[in-house]
């Protein structure tokens, strides 16, 4: 069964049709890239999946059950987590790393305390390759890359099956981006977690995704295995997007 299935998703803001019958899935341990130009509706899809926006038409299934059911939504709140573009605005500046990581844990493991909790915090930091020395720092005492690692650690805290990553690298320097891509691949290899990775960077998609969904003005115009789509794009829009970012052969 496909872990996350989006079916016939349409969304309008007043008279502006933002999504039109969008359909795609994310399987277990799969990395799916969702690409498209600015304004094509990528974040709106993420918000609909995360329950931050309501689709006008369509269904979103989580492990085969509709997210319109409250009990399914509750399960999904733990099973799918999100990481956004700007790590600093995602983190409460008054909190320490310890507080930032404890908050999601308090939701899932409210009784956990003392050395057991501390060991879990250290493990979480270790998974995102940060030192436990950072526990008492505030976001302004961290680099942007470190902040994004804290955001990823927060997202991993409830041990989700799926991370929805909305342009997680855009705020970072190129060298920091490369290290974060390595980190995401490591996490995927060791835990089998799935990603829905939203980006307009085809190079990143080529590096880490298995499947790709190409969005143009709210329509899925192409979907398939990354290698197939990138080497033989069938849709004019995908070809044009690729021409912008990759040198054409010959």
Q: How many helices (H) and strands (E) in the chain?
A: 10, 10
Member of 6, 30, 32, 44 binding ligand ATP (CB under 6 A): 44
Q: How far apart are CA 211 and CA 163, in angstroms?
A: 15
> What are the backbone dihedrals phi and psi of residue 8, each rounded to the nearest 5 degrees, phi first?
55, 40
Residue 81 site contact among Mg ion, ligand ATP, none (CB < 5 to 8 Å, cut-off depends on kind): none
Nearest approach, Cβ of residue 19 and ligand ATP (Å): 8
Using CB atoms within 10 Å of the CB of residue 250, give its burial: 0 to 12 exposed, 13 to 18 middle, 19+ buried. exposed
Does 40 bind ligand ATP (CB under 6 A)? Our answer is yes
* Tokens found for residue 56: 């006008």
Nearest approach, Cβ of residue 86 and ligand ATP (Å): 11
Number of residues that bind ligand ATP (CB under 6 A): 11
Residue 90 site contact among Mg ion, ligand ATP, none (CB < 5 to 8 Å, cut-off depends on kind): none
Member of 41, 55, 87, 145 binding ligand ATP (CB under 6 A): 41
Strand 31-35 relative to strand 194-199: parallel, antiparallel, unpaired?
A: parallel
Nearest approach, Cβ of residue 153 and ligand ATP (Å): 24
Residue 64 site contact among ligand ATP, Mg ion, none (CB < 5 to 8 Å, cut-off depends on kind): none
Does 190 bind ligand ATP (CB under 6 A)? Our answer is no
Does 90 bind Mg ion (CB under 5 A)? Our answer is no
What is the C-alpha R_g of the chain? 19
Q: How far apart are CA 140 and CA 156, in angstroms?
A: 22
Does 43 bind Mg ion (CB under 5 A)? Our answer is yes
Residues 200 to 239: which contact ligand ATP by CB under 6 A?
200
Closest listed residue to residue 63, CA positions, set 93, 32, 25: 25
Which residue is at the shortest CB distance from Mg ion? 43
In Å, how far are 212, 215, 243 from 237, measured between CA atoms?
Answer: 14, 9, 10
Member of 18, 91, 205, 213 binding ligand ATP (CB under 6 A): 18
Contact residues for ligand ATP, defined by CB under 6 A: 13, 18, 36, 38-44, 200
């Amino acid at each position: 069964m496909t872990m996350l299935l989006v079916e016939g998703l349409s969304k309008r803001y007043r008279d502006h049709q933002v999504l039109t019958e969008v359909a795609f899935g994310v399987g277990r341990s799969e990395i799916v890239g969702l690409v498209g130009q600015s304004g094509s509706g990528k974040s709106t899809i993420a918000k609909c999946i995360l329950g931050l926006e309501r689709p006008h038409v369509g269904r979103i299934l989580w492990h085969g059950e509709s997210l319109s059911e409250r009990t399914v939504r509750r399960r999904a709140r733990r099973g799918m987590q999100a990481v956004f573009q700007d790590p600093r605005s995602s983190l409460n500046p008054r909190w320490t790393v310890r507080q930032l990581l404890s908050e999601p844990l308090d939701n899932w493991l409210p009784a956990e305390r003392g050395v057991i909790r501390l060991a879990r915090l250290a493990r979480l930091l270790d998974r995102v390759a940060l030192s436990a020395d950072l526990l008492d720092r505030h976001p302004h005492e961290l680099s942007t890359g470190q902040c994004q690692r804290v955001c990823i650690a927060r997202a991993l805290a409830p041990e989700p099956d799926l991370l929805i990553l909305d342009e997680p690298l855009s705020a970072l320097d190129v060298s920091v981006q490369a290290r974060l891509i390595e980190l995401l691949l490591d996490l995927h290899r060791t835990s089998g977690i799935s990603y829905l990775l939203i980006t307009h960077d085809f190079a990143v998609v080529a590096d880490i995704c298995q499947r790709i969904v190409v969005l143009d003005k709210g329509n899925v115009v192409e979907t398939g295995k990354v290698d197939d789509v990138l080497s033989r794009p069938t849709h004019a829009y995908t070809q044009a997007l690729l021409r912008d970012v990759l040198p054409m052969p010959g």
